Amino acid sequence: MRWTWIAATTLTLATALPRPAAALDVGQMAPPLAIDKWIQGRPIDLQKEKGSRIFMVEFWATWCPPCKASVPRLNTMQKQYEKDLTIIGVTAEDDRGNTTATVKRFVKEQGSNMSYTVAMDDGMRTSLAYMGDAQVIGIPYAFLVARNGMVAWQGSPLDPALDEVIASLISGEFDLDAAKVAGQVEQRFQALNPLVQMGHWNAVWDGLVGILKLDPSNETALELMLAVHNERRQKPSLYREWAKGHIAGNRDNVKAMQRLAATLCDNPDLPSRFPDLALEAAKAAYEGSNRRDVHSIVTYARTLYLIGELDRAIALQTEAVAVADDPGEHQAVLEYYNLCKQLQGT
């Protein structure tokens, strides 16, 4: 593992949990917009326009520096995807100077740099329907509404992944089921944070098992599960039996098998490395990828190297070099394996 246990586990969980959950989950129908005044752009009825466009409902305020920082990006997105996407910046009057007059002045000052739709919330009805307590979640915060009216994504409009999500929604390639799973996984990670803080390790373990049932290839969960096992010194058979079951249930999942094998190979606790299971998982990934996935090939080669099967490791690493887009790193490993072979018997 790449960290000391207590500090790094808390840090990793904090990294995985960027925010509390919003009022809406991915996959839920977007509620109607309750708008007091449309500052810029035409009035929009999400229900009536369902099927015609993708909508982004973004919550912001004039006093919020990150909100101001997001304006240029949102403006660029609106222009880039204008045929398919309508962005609606929703804000509400508050006691911090975010009045209707202030919002109008701000939008006017931005001019063509803020060309998307802007609206004043009716009290906090829209904000509460989408976000719950905005002060807890924080702004800017956005919801992408797919053509079918369902929430497809939620998060900061400054998230680098947002462009890719919008493009996949427009092309029809967006996987809503996968997005739902990702949302559920994130919520479960959030639930683990207080358990880690309180040292409830059995509950943390159970939570990680649940996450990996939802997302068998979740790299963070795989590493944290192994760290929990190594640190807490649970029953020696516990992790092994879980790993065996994980392989049995996910043998056809190339990414899950490759990542489990890599995690086992990286395990600093030698009694829990389980080379037989690492080899089984790596072989399943290699064969399941039709021997074309470079990550699966190099992981399989490494498991063979670790058990002393240098000839087979060299052959596989040679395959990796042949299929890699950037073979430099894999070539260096191949040269190392060849050197080890030359030194055998010396």
138 confidence band (pLDDT: 50, 70, 90):
confident
Indicate the DSSP class of residue 124: T
The CATH code of the domain at 31-174 is 3.40.30.10
User: Which of these ranges, 53-57, 184-188, 294-298, has the smallest mean pLDDT?
Assistant: 184-188
User: Would you state the pLDDT for residue 190?
Assistant: 79
What percentage of the chain carries pLDDT values higher than 70?
91
Residue 282 has pLDDT above 60, yes or no: yes
Amino acid at 150: M
Strands of 54-59's sheet, edge to edge? 35-40, 117-121, 85-91, 54-59, 141-145, 151-155
Residue 11 has pLDDT above 80, yes or no: no
| pTM of structure | 0.69
d(CA 322, CA 331): 9
Question: What's the Cα-to-Cα distance from 81 to each of 86, 144, 168, rounded to whole Å?
Answer: 8, 13, 12
pLDDT in tens, 171-228: 999 998 888 888 888 888 878 888 888 888 889 999 999 999 999 999 999 999 988 8
User: Would you state the pLDDT for residue 202?
Assistant: 87
d(CA 102, CA 25): 32
236 confidence band (pLDDT: 50, 70, 90):
low
User: Would you state the pLDDT for residue 15?
Assistant: 43
Residue 65 has pLDDT above 80, yes or no: yes
Three-state secondary structure call for residue 30: coil
Query: How many CB atoms neighbour CB 13 within 10 A?
Result: 20
User: Would you state the pLDDT for residue 22?
Assistant: 60
DSSP string, 291-307: T--HHHHHHHHHHHHHT
The CB-side HSE value for 316 (13 A sphere, CA atoms) comes to 23
Task: Point out which residues pair with 120 in neighbouring strands.
Answer: 37, 91
User: Would you state the pLDDT for residue 216?
Assistant: 96
Residue 14 has pLDDT above 70, yes or no: no
The more confidently predicted of residues 21 and 202 is 202
Indicate the DSSP class of residue 261: H
